[in-house]
Each structure stands twice: as C-alpha cells, then as structure tokens.
Amino acid sequence: MPGLSERRIDAWTALAAEPAVRAAERAIATGSNTVLADTLAISTAAESRRRLASVLALKTQAERDSGRREAYQRAADDLRSWAAGVYLAALRDADTHVAPPGGRPGRTNPEPVVKHPNRYTEESASLRRHAPRLPFPGQRRRQLGA
C-alpha cells in the first residue's frame, strides 16, 4: 500500500491534470483530438513562457553580478531538463503509462525500501577517528588538546 506522502502526490497530480483528463475524455467522446492538442499546447506554452522568463531575468542579473551566475546556470539546466522531459513524455509509448491492476504506472511489485543508517549523521567524523590524522603537506601543525 502506498504511503501517505505518495498518496498525496498522486492526489495532487490528479487534481493538477484534471483539465488534460477532461480534454482527453472529450477527445475520446468526439473522436477529434483538437481540444486535447490545444489544451496540452496551451498549458505547455504557458509553462515554457514562465520558465523562460525566469531564466532570462536571472541571465540579466548574472551579467551584472557574477554571484548570480550559479543561479542562472541552475535555472537554465532546469529549463533544458524540463523541455527534454516534456518532449520525451510526448513521444513515450502509451503502453508504459497503463497502470497495472492495483498499482501505479511503471511500478510492478515494488520492493520494500530498506534505509541503511547513515553513520555520518550519528556522530561527528572527528569523534570516530581512532588516531590523530597527519597534517597535509603545507598545513600548519595542529594543536592537540587546545
């Protein structure tokens, strides 16, 4: 059974995709894909305009301030990956999106997730050290006990 957060994501996805679902149902009923294609094109165009505007705003800031360059590069990478995801989703085979009985698309008999304890969060790395570490070349000598 999916966890609570997974069910919330599924519910949000269903609500967010409702206009596209209605357009798909209308396309099935009428036999015409015009409404479905228009709905998908309009929503994709609006989202691409919004994302591109934010990237261009960051680009002008990055040209003036070198500290904003990293934010611009991240936003540009996000735009590229979003565009690739939308394009590939449009080309994907329909058989990959059919949900198996009682499951989600693409998940057949999911294995339980085993979380291994992270030893680095349990205590500081310096507390686990059994012997003092030698200094790096050129590093000042450490003061032990200070």
Q: What is the pLDDT of residues 49-107, one digit of tens each?
A: 999 999 999 999 988 888 889 899 999 999 999 999 988 888 887 655 555 544 555 55
Answer yes or no: is pLDDT of 110 > 80: no
pTM: 0.53
Tokens 């094109």 locate to 41
Of the candidates 133, 33, 10, 36, the one whose C-alpha atom is nearest the C-alpha of residue 1 is: 10
Better-predicted residue by pLDDT, 101 or 15: 15
In a domain, 133, yes or no: no
In a domain, 111, yes or no: no
In a domain, 137, yes or no: no
Total number of domains constituting the chain: 1
Domain range spanning residue 23?
4-98
pLDDT at position 81? 92
Better-predicted residue by pLDDT, 28 or 137: 28
The separation between the first and the last C-alpha atoms of the chain, rounded to the nearest angstrom, is 54
pLDDT at position 13? 67
